[in-house]
Amino acid sequence: MGLGLGVMRTIEFLLLIIAILSAPVLSDLILSKVERRIDLTSQIARIASTIKAENDGSSSVSEILLSIPEVQAKNLAYLTAKLVEGKGKAKTSGVALAVEPANPKGMPPALSFYTMILPKPLANGDSVTLDVLAAFTHSLRPFPEKITQADIQLVVFQDTAHYLSPYPVKVQSLTLKLPDARIESYTKLENTKGLGSEIKYGPYENLPPFSYSPVAIHFEANQAFAVARELVREIEISHWGNVQVTEHYDIVHGGAMSKGEFSRLDYQSKPQIRGASAFKHLVAKLPPRAHSIYYRDAIGNISTSHVRGDSKKTEILIEPRYPLFGGWKTAFTIGYGLPLQDFVFESEGKRFLNFSFGSPMHDLVTDSITLKVVLPEGSKYLSVSTPFVVQQEEEIKMSHLDIFGRPVVVLKKANVVPEHNQFFQVYYQFNALAMLMEPFMLITGIFFLFVTCIIYVHVDLSISKSSASYLAKLQWDDVRATVQQIQNTVNQCLSTHEKLEASLRDLSRTGDVQACKAARKATDGLLKELSKELKPLISFLQSSPPAAHILPKVEELVAKERELQERLMAKHSTIVDSYEKKLGGRETENRVASVQQKIVALRQDIEDLMEYIDEI
Amino acid sequence: MASPESAVNGPTMTAGAASKSLRNAFGGVIAFIILVLIGVLAFSIRLFSVIKYESVIHEFDPYFNYRVTQFLSKNGIYDFWNWFDDRTWYPLGRVIGGTVYPGLTLTAGTIWKVVNSLNIPLSVETVCVFTAPIFSAFASWAAYLLTKEVKGPGAGLTAAALLAMVPSYISRSVAGSYDNEAVAIFALVFTFYLYIKTLNTGSLFYATLNALAYFYMVCSWGGYTFIINLIPMHVLLCIVTGRYSSRLYIAYAPLVVLGTLLASLVPVVGFNAVLTSEHFASFLVFIIIHVVALAYYIKGILSPKMFKVAVTLVVSVGLAVCCAVIAILIAVVASSPTKGWSGRSLTLLDPTYASKYIPIIASVSEHQPPTWPSYFMDINVLAFLVPAGIIACFMPLTDSSSFVILYIVTSVYFSGVMVRLMLVLAPAACILSGIALSEAFNVLTRSIKFQLPGIAGNPSIASEENGSSTVVAPNDIPKTEEAAKEKPAKKNRKKEKENVEKKPTPSKTEKRLLVLPLEASVIAVLLLVLLGAFYVVHCVWAAAEAYSAPSIVLTSHSNDGGLHVFDDFREAYSWLSHNTDVDDKVASWWDYGYQTTAMANRTVLVDNNTWNNTHIATVGTAMSSPEKQAWEIFHSLDVKYVLVVFGGVVGYPSDDINKFLWMVRIGGGVFPHIKEPDYLRDGQYRIDAQATPTMLNCLMYKLSYFRFVETDGKGFDRVRRTEIGKKHFKLTHFEEVFTTHHWMVRIYKLKPQRNRIRGKTKKSKSSRSVSSKRDVRGKRNPWH
């Protein structure tokens, strides 16, 4: 199997080699030592190279070229170079070098070039040591491409045993680290050693530029091949104290395609064998103090997730609705809130968000990421600083009760690996007062609602001011007002009566007959006045037709009230009389009794009538 | 000497009069606050499903409504009206715009639009989930209005509070239960309110509103026929009992004319509004009310003698004309096979109809007649209060109270036929119970009020405390007697006097008759409060435990108290939606059609809108055929995947094996080669060793139990509580492509057609057993 593949791939590389060999030799730089370690334990191929370069020529060299075959270059996700300082054990990787794509002339077309610009030019005879890390996605090709549920997943990785470089290389070696000792096959060259899960090529010495020796390793890889075809991360800043992150994933198992049946029975009884190539869960490492975490998809909450948190991180283990076999897809959304003060800072009058770029998922390859930073409404002067090149746009998002919308910084990048989880910054200016705009708007809105209600109640909205029903309504309003007045007057009368009674009580206490008489006179006058007031009101009621049905009641009320007046007067005079005549209490009572009876009955009637009229 | 007495009475009177308007205002404010609280209660009691589970659409039909709403919000109203859905009823498709009651969808769509235009980013799903609770609050308010028109605000508030939490209504309107009924009950009650309001006021304004409310009801639910039959019945009742008035005419005539015109604007109703028998009653009564109106008018302008002559003349001519018209009508109606009635309506009139002729209607669980416990479960204590309410409505009998009586009587009948119409009974039961409770409290509190010594001296305070009492009757005689007994020291003189004075008040004697003994009334009040408390406890329990499960997610409590979630349905739908081609066709029993289209976005053959019996019968036939025939049927319908629901592993009882009898019955109803007795042993569907060979070889059995025996070695089915009959078998025409975590949903793919190799076909044929060969000949694929 591996052999057949090797043949096929070798032809491809032969073409490449032919192209390479025809290229001119470059400059005077010599790579005195190249050590390459390829880590294939995950789905991302990470190639770490330590390169020692020596200037053998006369002129000083300020940049070093890296070459990568184009077949690999399109999978290149991440490339950095660091200067190594010190010697031996005290080696420390220091300054990161700028790595830029280059297009030097006269080079073979099947290679992509990158230049590393040295901080200071390399003089004749000087040497420099570099650490170069490159990460490639989708470079482990499943072979066979389709497997059944029971099969293990085998992949092929291809590279060159000789370091492909435009410079001559003196000494070099290559180490491949595989996830497992089970290796199907690998290209055997001179100096090849297989040690458990490690394969070593080299050392090789004194090879010319562009020397190339293809190797293919066919090995078992059952780790998760989780690929996010698309990831949209939305980071929404609220200056009320929250940074809300929402991540929409579109995940596919990027390994060998599954063919044939899927048997849950097999999967459940022997998950390690009959489902080795599937992955069941993903682990996301969220920042500490993440709260309100949710995990759902288009059709609702997904209940299979676990959150563990400590002061350093919050770890969330999420299981998709079903285990993912090769080629199976799923989509879901996770969201969480973070405390504002951990991520948004202020400096020199500007605020900035400091947030990590990539997905928090462990070992996830993201084909295309869209990062949206939603700033609060009213933010101005946006600027972005990222550690690597991204595509950048701006848009507006309308959200909760916005008027102008919130400015959104959109960052896009293809082919993202966990190495890209570096912090980027979005700078903006924001006035804290703008925070109060929405509450203020709500307050105003509700205020105006009430104002409208008040206006509606108090303003006459009738269209026709002359229609019969409108006039009838007006009249009826008048009638009601009049009735109200009558009631008030009657109430006044009643309170006047009260005064009369009070004077009687005073009489029994003080025995001041004169004062009592005076009180009677005063109340008499008052009552007369009141009854005078009543007259026009009653006549108005009599004249207005809509009052017809309550008129009798009102008239009855007035009549009763008058009667009550008379009775009270009678009672009053009787008591005063008997007091003057110094009659005994018992006798007075007897004389008053019948009147008193009437009075109480009348009072009751009046109260009933008032109530009745009230209800109209 | 008499002064102390007047000192008591005087200020009371003035204060009483002055505080009266204040008290009324207070009453209004309190009633308003109570109504708002009732609304909050109605809304929040329905949120258990969101709190206990999640904010998700429930069950089956709501998924369809949700999908339609999504379409509406995405494509706009014009596309919605013209929507031809090709993802369901493949290959027939379905004209959604013309076959759906659009009220609910349009309501939620409008809410969504308004909310989003205010820049409040709510998703369509959220709006759909919370539409039902919102409309429950509206329904309670409508119940308040209706009962207030019938028996005053006190009864109204009670009825509204009862309706806010009646379990029957909760069952259809918990958050997430996005179904027509949620909106329709509000529309129903509100239409009735406007009818009563028009009847009480005789205002054309309300009559027009009534027609509009009726229009909304027609938009929302097929149950509108209940309105258009109940109101004519009531009108007829009023006419017959001599209660005809111009108000009745205004309440009815505009409703019929405007309502019918508006109803025919709804595509799903269209000309049915004048053609089908469901609407005949309204037109008949429409004619009658005009005749009666004319008679009253003529009676008014003619002398009694002339009137008599006219009557004889008109009656003789009219009878002849009527006979002719009725004869024509009967002839027209009788010419149609269902007598012009739809199947469901006929089921209502003749409860045995569906089980005899339309198994598809009978197969729906909510079309079964309810059991007695379900009455207790769904309306609880209301069932006992309703008779009291009916009695209260008879004294005095008014136009509006007779309507309520008619409403309860008819709805009790309908709920007895179909369990789902319990929903129509619930508002009526609430209204009558509200009346009963409020009347009872009225009598009891009044009895207490007049006998309590503390309040006796001050009637105005007493009446203030009982704001809802309609009769404020300060009856002083028992009051003073009480005072005399219990407070002998207090104002002896006054008491004596009052005894003398108050005797000549005969007008109060009637009211005094209603006064019950103090102890009895206190106990009765306590009992009633207890009854109410029991009702509340039951309702909260029902809302929290019985009716909140969304049915797509199941939970169970493990022994250690942990919660185990069975999310298999969504697992399967999610798998379908992400791992099959967009245009693949999925065959399943019709129950899962709506969910598959909404959640998995795959084309289905049949769904819960059971409009084409033949198509459903085809799927039923396939499910009950042997593998090869089933494969042929499915293949001829372009089906790529077959989905079955199987509960045998976890004991989920409503799975496809338990529904299998309907597949056989419906399939056999159209394709006679499927014979039910073939599947029955001793009159039962069995899957154990006793099962018939036909049963053990049918597709449903095979797809359900494929490799099931390997789970526990015996093949013990936890739903049927038995070991399965045929344990080891292989599938020849289908392959398993997905089974969910708890095996509840199993998805199979049709194997591609085998290449035809000469000579090999013969061999494979001969290798088949003789019996299955005969089967092949006997049960041909109906599509070939």
Which string of DSSP letters, residue by residue, matches A287-318? PTT-EEEEEEETTEE---EEEEE-SS-EEEEE
Q: Which residue has the tokens 């809802």?
A: B468
Which two structure tokens, joined as six digits, stand for B469? Answer: 């009492």
Report the range of poorest mean pLDDT among A379-383, B307-311, B538-542, B597-601: B307-311
Q: Does residue B7 register a pLDDT over 50?
A: no
The reply to whether A297 touches chain B by the CB within 8 Å rule is yes
Half-sphere exposure of B60 (CA within 13 A, CB side): 13
Are B64 and B143 spatial neighbours (Cβ–Cβ below 8 Å)? no
Q: Higher model confidence: residue B709 or residue B215?
A: B215
User: Which residues of B are less than 8 Å from A403 in CB distance?
Assistant: 119
Six token digits for residue B726 = 């045929």
| B106-112 long-range Cβ contacts below 8 angstroms, 24+ apart | B106/B72, B106/B77, B106/B219, B107/B131, B107/B135, B107/B183, B107/B220, B108/B65, B108/B69, B108/B178, B109/B69, B109/B72, B109/B73, B109/B77, B112/B69, B112/B73
Least Cα distance to A453 among B584, B32, B224 occurs for: B32
Checking if the pLDDT of B780 tops 60, the result is: no
pLDDT (tens digit, 9 = 90+) per residue, B102-153? 999 999 999 999 999 988 889 999 999 999 999 999 999 999 999 999 988 8
The answer on pLDDT for B464 being more than 80 is no
Which pLDDT score is estimated for B541? 92
Decide: residue B643, CB within 10 A, 0-12 exposed, 13-18 middle, 19+ buried.
buried
Indicate whether B210 pLDDT > 80: yes
Whether B63 and B105 have beta carbons less than 8 Å apart is answered as: no
Tell me what pLDDT residue A445 has.
93
Rounded CA gap, B158 and A234, in Å? Answer: 49
pLDDT given for residue B710 in this prediction: 85
User: In 10 A of CB B50, how many CB atoms?
Assistant: 18
Which of A331-345, B471-485, B709-723 is predicted with the least confidence, judged by mean pLDDT? Answer: B471-485
Q: How many CB atoms lie within 10 A of CB A264?
A: 21
Give how far B660 is from chain A: nearest CA, Å.
24
List, for residues B388-415, the tens digit of each pLDDT value.
999 999 888 888 899 999 999 999 988 8
- Mean pLDDT, range B244-257, rounded to an integer: 91
* DSSP line for A349-400: TEEEEEEE-S-SBTT-EEEEEEEEEEPPTT-EEEEEE-SS--EEEEEEE--T
Concatenating the DSSP letter of every residue in B233-263 gives: HHHHHHHHTT---HHHHHHHHHHHHHHHHHH
B472/A611 touch (CB, cutoff 8 Å), yes or no: yes
CA dist., res. A240 & res. A577, Å (int): 83
Residues 394-413 (A) with a CB less than 8 A from some CB of B:
398-403
**Which of A230, A252, A262 to mutate: most B Cβ within 10 Å?**
A262
Pairing mode, strands A257-258 and A146-147: parallel
Nearest to B119 among A302, A399, A504 (CB): A399
pLDDT at A16: 53
Rounded distance, CA A53 to CA A33, Å? 7
ipTM: 0.78
Which residues of chain A does B741 touch, with a Cβ-Cβ cutoff of 8 Å?
A: 264, 322
Q: Give A607's contacts in chain B (Cβ within 8 Å).
A: 13, 16-17
B711-719: long-range contacts, CB 8 A cutoff, minimum separation 24: B711/A265, B711/B649, B711/B743, B717/B648, B717/B657, B717/B687, B718/B647, B718/B648, B718/B649, B718/B650, B718/B651, B719/B647, B719/B648, B719/B651, B719/B652, B719/B653, B719/B655, B719/B657, B719/B658
> H-type helices in A59-125, by residue range?
70-73
Q: Is the dihedral of CA A79, A82, A87, A92 positive or negative?
A: negative
Among the partner residues A300, A495, A585, nearest to B14 by beta-carbon distance? A495
What pLDDT, on a 0 to 100 scale, did the predictor assign at position A537? 80
Which pLDDT score, from 0 to 100, does residue B338 have? 61
H helical segments located in B336-421: 343-349, 353-357, 359-362, 372-379, 382-393, 399-417
List of chain A residues whose C-beta atoms are within 8 Å of the C-beta of residue B556: none
Mean pLDDT of B320-334: 82
Q: Which of A498, A508, A597 sits opposite B501 (nearest CB)?
A: A597
Q: How many residue pairs bridge chain A and chain B with CB atoms within 8 Å of each other?
A: 129
Please report the pLDDT score of residue A221 as a whole number: 85
| pLDDT at position B493 over 50 | no
Give me the residues of A, 507-526, that contact B with CB < 8 A.
508
Of the pLDDT bands very low, low, confident and very high (cuts 50, 70, 90), residue B604 is: very high
Q: Using CB atoms, pick whichever of A263, A401, A487 lies closest to residue B118.
A: A401
Residue whose C-alpha is closest to residue A501's, from B631, B129, B4: B4
Spans of chain A, pLDDT less than 50: 1-8, 10, 19, 22-25
